[in-house]
Amino acid sequence: MNAAGQEPGRTGVVKAARLAGQVVNSFEEWTLILCVAALSILLVANVIARDFFTSIYFAEEISEFLVILTTFVGLSHGVRKARHIRMGAFLDIMPGWVEKIFIIVISVVSALVMFVMAKESYTYLMMAKNRGHLTPALQLPYWTFYAVIPVGFALAGVQYVRTIIKNLTHRETWMSADQQSEYEDIPET
């Protein structure tokens, strides 16, 4: 143990995990920002081009890819920031310890679902790759458009696992590993 009361190797692991989380969070945020901006610019440019010249022949394919990328990167980011659907009204009326148990159980089930979806979407991705279909305009393999789907599901599953760990290792209730519960216990009188 060092002067701070921590094991020497543990501080390095905690710092590495924190840095990895910051890198992934930055990647997610910048990917979402760039995808939405690119999608907006592409669609507006295509409307203008269609009215005055001719449509941008690849706009639909790139738009489809950007929407898929935004959806599945956003899935992981939404879980990280606790912006997913939850039953706030029920959590409001629960004592803190019951809320924490519910969040852990919900996170376990959600993580399992995300990992199953990652596996199934990977199976679908491999099937799409084996078929060899190409997009009509750009002649790119269709499977490249779907490659982000299993990654997005897997990252969302990892975020739920982080939530479970955070709730098991901290006294407070956490909606995600980065977002503490916004509901406070009402003291009993």
Please give the pLDDT value at position 185: 47
More confident residue, 85 or 150: 150
Tens digit of each residue's pLDDT (9 = 90 or more) over 131-164: 988 888 888 898 888 899 999 999 999 888 888 8
* Poorest-pLDDT segment among 21-35, 41-55, 167-181: 167-181
Specify the pLDDT at position 136: 84
User: 5: which DSSP letter?
Assistant: S
What band does 116 get if pLDDT is binned at 50, 70 and 90?
Answer: very high
The residue behind tokens 């920031």 is 81
Question: Which residues make Cβ contacts (< 8 Å) with residue 185, sequence separation at least 6?
Answer: 95, 96
Q: What is the mean pLDDT of the chain?
A: 82
Lowest-pLDDT range of 10-19, 125-134, 176-185: 176-185
Q: What is the pLDDT of residue 186?
A: 46
d(CA 47, CA 168): 52
pLDDT, position 9: 54
**Cα 29 from Cα 116, distance rounded (Å):** 25
Residue 61: the pLDDT is 85
How many whole angstroms separate alpha carbon 162 and alpha carbon 169? 10
Bridge partner list, 134: 141
- What whole-number distance in Å separates Cα of residue 103 and Cα of residue 91? 9
**Would you state the pLDDT for residue 182?**
64
Rounded to whole angstroms, how far apart are CA atoms 109 and 157? Answer: 10
Give pLDDT, residue 26: 85
